[in-house]
Structure 1
Amino acid sequence: MTKISIIGLGWIGLPLAKLLQKEGHAVIGSTTSSEKLVRLKEEGVNAIQFELAPFPQGRAFQELFTCEILVINIPPRSRSVSGDFYLEQIKFLRSMIDQSAIKKVIFVSSTGVYPKENREEAYTEIEAIDKTNSGNLTIYKSELLVSENRNFELTIVRFGGLIGDDRIPGKYVAGKENIPGHTRVNFIYRTDAGKMLAWIIEKNLWNETYNGVAPIHSLRKDVYGKNAHELGLEPPKSYQNSSDSKDRLISGDKIRTTGFEFDFPNPLDFPYSLET
């Protein structure tokens, strides 16, 4: 039994916690909400209220850093706070890791770190990324903050679009006009994301970088159309004219070479629900 802490019991963190508990690990996680803390404990998930504001605050949150493995799952909220705020959060986290006995860390990142340029070949984990070509400097800098000059093992997981359940692509474009529909998606289903993180822990896949992207890259218009048909959503009123331009594809093949299998390799098969 391994003691594992999850910073961020959110959309992926909570299913991951339940999966790791089922596998026999001692799991503790964090939430910023006192109301959610009560619900988590009712669901049998050991949780502590902990917030990075950007400095750490909460009650008895030091227990989160007494684990062997730490999963950092707090994506930047770029729509509501600045990238600088997120980087300060990561700096505080890194400081607490350095002062702890934590041996292994998974840092949940994003494929947004790759260049925005569309091209023939898919982006892979060996892509040379720096501040001049990264598609998201905040994500790029956060990976550096976690990885540089460390004394712990680290694996970075770059997820594509986290989709499924109540996150419905067709819902966001319902009734809209001039929607881009002829590009291909880089999606991963919610439970596959959690399953992938658990797989990395189980197989000791440390000091690596993995993309979390389903192997089939469906056309956006096909995803939107299927959502509309199955869920009764209004389809987009119109799409942009198709072009011969290349896609910005992200390869998720590397994790599959370790034996990992996606339960939902095709975004057209992702389960959805309008219930929240």
Structure 2
Amino acid sequence: MNVLIVGCGWVGTYVASRLLSKGYKLWVTCRTPEKAAKLKEMGLRSYVIDFDRDAAINDLPKTTFDTIIISVPITRKDAIETVSSRFKRLTLFLKELSFRQVLYFGSIGIYPKVDGLITEGTFAAEELDEKLWLGESRLRTVCPDINVFRLGGLFGQERIFAKYFAGKVCEIGFQTANFVHVEDVCRIISITMEREVRGATYNVVCPEHPLKKDVIAVSAAKYGYGLPSSFTDSDQTAKIVSSNLLVAELGYSFVYRSPLQF
């Protein structure tokens, strides 16, 4: 099975290592020669492309990819014009490729910060985050049956929630957690590929949503980090992003049902 990972960062590298162990043939792109060299050491066919600047890779093989996984980020700091240009170049890149299935890593940040249960269909397009919706929309112009995974906050391996708050004032401790472990992301990708799913949009988030302060306390004790110096309760947003659609349609059972298990 031929797989191309476009934008092989932390999650992409984890997924690539798992797929490689299953005997898949993998090609990956990244933004710097240094990262490309590290990926080559893993046994991956790696190429350098920065979609803020480039739109093509001249020596990418003319093969049909069974699956393309797109992990090109959109950050809070990005201007809308930057996102527009980045994804225009990305779509031009994709138009030159032959593929059967496409997966895109979006974000649950696309939803407004509100109290209540949120499904994939809770909000109209005009209510979604402008930049994140632009990214999804641009990709759908060239991949109408793209699968969009709106990922929760990603953890696992060296990403431990408690370490970001040790000795600091935590202002988000009373918010609900909408997190997911990278192992579950990897398993969901594998199922989606094996079943040749097309045209799905899923929230990829743990089914359970404890308070962030409780996640911090558990992970601090587990991994030996200090606790925050204090918590403020000024922000108690109870935003709960539901993964029920994914569970129902894929029959998936999360390895980590709660961030308290990370």
**What is the TM-score when the length of structure 1 is the normalising length?**
0.85
Q: Report the Cα distance in structure 2 between the residues aligned to 1:241 and 1:36, rounded to whole angstroms.
A: 40
* Number of the residue aligned with 1:140: 133
* Number of the residue aligned with 1:4: 3
Q: Report the Cα distance in structure 1 between the residues aligned to 2:188 and 2:254, rounded to whole angstroms.
A: 8
Partner SS for 2:49: strand
Q: Quickly say closer, same or farther: Cα 1:64–1:230, change in 2 above 3 A.
A: farther
Q: Which has the higher strand share?
A: 2
* Number of the residue aligned with 1:118: 115
Q: Quickly say closer, same or farther: Cα 1:58–1:204, change in 2 above 3 A.
A: closer
Q: Report the Cα distance in structure 2 between the residues aligned to 1:33 and 1:64, rounded to whole angstroms.
A: 23
Is the 1:29–1:64 Cα contact (8 Å) retained in structure 2? no
| Structure 2: runs of 5+ lacking an equivalent | none
Percent identity reads 25
* Number of the residue aligned with 1:247: 238
Partner SS for 1:51: coil
Report the residue type matching 1:146 in the other structure: L
Is the 2:52–2:89 Cα contact (8 Å) retained in structure 1? no
| 2:68 pairs with 1:70 | yes
Q: Report the Cα distance in structure 1 between the residues aligned to 2:232 and 2:144, rounded to whole angstroms.
A: 48
Tell me the CA shift for residue 219 of structure 1.
1.4
Q: Report the Cα distance in structure 2 between the residues aligned to 1:232 and 1:51, rounded to whole angstroms.
A: 38
Q: Which moved more, 1:245-254 or 1:49-58?
A: 49-58
* Number of the residue aligned with 2:91: 94
Tell me the CA shift for residue 242 of structure 1.
7.8
Q: Report the Cα distance in structure 2 between the residues aligned to 1:15 and 1:184, rounded to whole angstroms.
A: 26
Q: CA RMSD in A?
A: 2.2
Q: Quickly say closer, same or farther: Cα 1:15–1:180, change in 2 above 3 A.
A: closer
Residues 82-115 of structure 1 deviation map (CA, whole Å, 9 limit, x = unaligned): 3422331211121232343223211110001112
* Number of the residue aligned with 1:260: 252
Is the 1:123–1:251 Cα contact (8 Å) retained in structure 2? yes
| Structure 1: runs of 5+ lacking an equivalent | 271-276
Q: Report the Cα distance in structure 2 between the residues aligned to 1:129 and 1:101, rounded to whole angstroms.
A: 32
Partner SS for 1:228: helix
How many residues align structurally? Answer: 261
Is the 1:51–1:57 Cα contact (8 Å) retained in structure 2? no
Q: Quickly say closer, same or farther: Cα 1:58–1:151, change in 2 above 3 A.
A: closer
